[in-house]
């Protein structure tokens, strides 16, 4: 048992790879065996994620489950893992969403073994990126995470999948190259011969150099979130990806951009981060209004939710960058909420698309009469998205808006429009598709959710209420971490001010 505890992060990183290798031993036509085995490995990793959650102590040190070994000694590259409360939560959320995706993928019709391989590789890369405390190790896992996503979109996507994949590839590779250059520049500036992130936090980098390094990291992570003006790849890729691919992109990979700001861009380059905060605040506030208005006029439900995701993530970025305790805690909590809500929304849309092959709002009417259970689930997730009290979305938005209000009332006034506009576009979509007369013959043949669909959605529905009714149970685990994050940036900022003088 002690061996598992001491190496829990490594086990969680490599268990999906073991699952992927195991799947290679299956015959290509053994679809049932591939589906059950892939889902089994996803379930095992989720159980380990629960162990990580319950074993993480809110009273202990900020970073726990440390694993540190020399890897490439001549280059100072180490196999260095550890998690704070934020990365711990994101890892647990990743294991849950991946397991659900593996069960939801039972409707994939072609290259099933290869599809499950790609999903498991994505999970391994994401967990490795979240746990890595060595910059080179982080970068390796970052690329491991992205490569299988290109295949998921390009092979199993919709009719414009090649165009979307190329767009996704160009954007993400451009950001990755910039980040790699910045990583090795940091290594050269440090002069200690290693890539330890926690040691690099202590560096005193001149502001001029900070600016360029910060921009390199910022662009890589802004593409992943995405933030305006780096967002244009997102709607096309989300719409043309298969349901599971969209869930992974929206619920999991978008958090890697937010995590990148939290772990790297802001604490490594505090002076540059603070100097760019007004610009970033402007971009996020533009996104809140502009993207929400675009969402209102969308005719495609999947594209509407894709734009909605950009607007919600923009508020999270704003709350994080303003460095108030409530804003940072709200941003962290809302990251988890966004994972749960976005995964549920895209999975629900996927269920409807599988039955009717249409995502257009105009093709539906009266679905609540034909699919009452489906309509109920959709309503719950939709209300959580707009922040109804009693759901997880309310607590996250409440904390975020308090934090933004404490920083600047003007910012809070504009950011609050996200709630109003969000209610308009998602409630209007629901009203058109789920109410009204059931007058389309094609809709009269639609079947309600089956047992498998109910089974993989119910954990997300329960989380919406559990996190909304008992938020303090979740928040207390990252209370010290959020304060440490703010103090690290402000302390490093003060040191940089002294050095420049």
**Residue 498 pLDDT > 60:** no
**Residue 259 pLDDT > 90:** yes
**Residue 2 pLDDT > 90:** no
Assigned token pair, 31 = 């679809």
**Residue 75 banded pLDDT, cuts 50, 70, 90:** confident
164 touches 157 (CB < 8 A) = yes
How do residues 264-322 score in pLDDT, each as one tens digit? Answer: 999 999 999 999 999 999 999 999 999 999 999 999 999 999 999 999 999 999 999 99
CA distance 271 to 208: 10
Residue 421 confidence (pLDDT): 93
Within 10 Å of residue 189's Cβ, how many Cβ atoms?
15
CA distance 206 to 218: 18
Residue 492 confidence (pLDDT): 60
How do residues 345-366 score in pLDDT, each as one tens digit? Answer: 999 999 999 998 888 999 999 9
Q: Residue 497: CA atoms inside 13 Å, Cβ hemisphere, count?
A: 8
CA 475 to chain centre: 18
Residue 497 confidence (pLDDT): 44
As a whole number, the mean pLDDT across the chain is 92
Q: Where are the alpha helices (DSSP H) in 191-232?
A: 197-200, 207-224
**Residue 493 pLDDT > 70:** no
- Indicate the domain borders of the chain: 271-474
**Residue 357 Rama label (left phi>0; alpha psi -120 to 50; beta):** left
Angle, CA 15 vertex, CA 14 and CA 17 arms, to 5°:
65
């Amino acid at each position: 048992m002690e061996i598992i505890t001491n190496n829990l992060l490594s086990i969680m990183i490599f268990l999906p790879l073991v699952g992927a290798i195991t799947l290679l031993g299956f015959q290509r036509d053994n679809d049932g065996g591939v589906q059950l085995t892939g889902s089994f490995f996803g379930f095992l990793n989720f159980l380990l994620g629960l162990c990580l959650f319950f074993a993480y102590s809110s009273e202990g040190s900020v970073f726990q489950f440390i694993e540190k070994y020399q890897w490439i000694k001549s280059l100072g590259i180490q196999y260095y893992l550890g998690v704070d409360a934020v990365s711990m939560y994101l890892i647990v959320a990743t294991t849950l969403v991946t397991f659900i995706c593996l069960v939801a993928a039972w409707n994939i019709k072609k290259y099933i073994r290869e599809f499950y391989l790609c999903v498991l590789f994505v999970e391994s890369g994401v967990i490795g990126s979240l746990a890595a405390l060595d910059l080179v190790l982080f970068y390796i896992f970052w690329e491991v995470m992205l490569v299988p996503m290109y295949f998921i979109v390009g092979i199993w996507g919709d009719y414009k999948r090649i165009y979307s994949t190329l767009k996704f590839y160009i954007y993400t590779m451009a950001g990755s190259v910039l980040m790699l250059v910045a990583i090795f520049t940091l290594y050269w500036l440090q002069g200690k011969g290693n890539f330890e992130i926690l040691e690099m936090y202590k560096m005193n980098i001149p502001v001029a150099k900070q600016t360029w390094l910060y921009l390199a990291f910022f662009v890589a992570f802004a593409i992943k979130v995405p933030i305006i003006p780096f967002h244009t790849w997102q709607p096309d890729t989300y719409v043309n990806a298969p349901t599971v691919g969209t869930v992974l992109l929206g619920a999991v990979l978008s958090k890697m951009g937010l995590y990148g700001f939290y772990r790297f861009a802001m604490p490594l380059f505090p002076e540059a981060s603070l100097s760019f905060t007004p610009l970033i605040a402007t971009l996020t506030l533009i996104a809140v209004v502009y993207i929400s208005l675009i969402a209102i006029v969308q005719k495609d439900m999947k594209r509407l939710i894709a734009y909605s995701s950009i607007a919600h993530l923009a508020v999270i970025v704003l709350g994080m960058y303003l460095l108030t305790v409530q804003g940072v805690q709200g941003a962290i909590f809302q990251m988890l909420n966004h994972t749960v809500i976005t995964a549920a929304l895209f999975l629900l849309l996927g269920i409807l698309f599988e039955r009717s092959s249409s995502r257009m709002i105009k093709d539906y009417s009266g679905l609540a009469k034909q699919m009452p259970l489906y309509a109920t689930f959709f309503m719950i997730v939709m209300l959580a998205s707009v922040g109804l009290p009693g759901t997880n979305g309310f607590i996250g938005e409440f904390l975020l808006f308090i934090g933004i209000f404490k920083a600047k009332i003007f910012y809070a006034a504009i950011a609050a429009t996200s709630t109003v506009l969000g209610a308009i576009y998602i409630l209007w979509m629901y009203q058109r598709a789920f109410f009204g007369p059931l007058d389309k013959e094609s809709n009269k043949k639609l079947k309600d959710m089956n047992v498998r669909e109910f089974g993989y959605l119910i954990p997300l529905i329960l989380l919406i209420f559990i996190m909304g009714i008992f938020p303090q149970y979740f928040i207390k685990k990252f209370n010290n971490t959020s304060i440490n994050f703010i103090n690290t940036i402000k302390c490093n900022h003060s040191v940089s001010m002294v050095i420049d003088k």
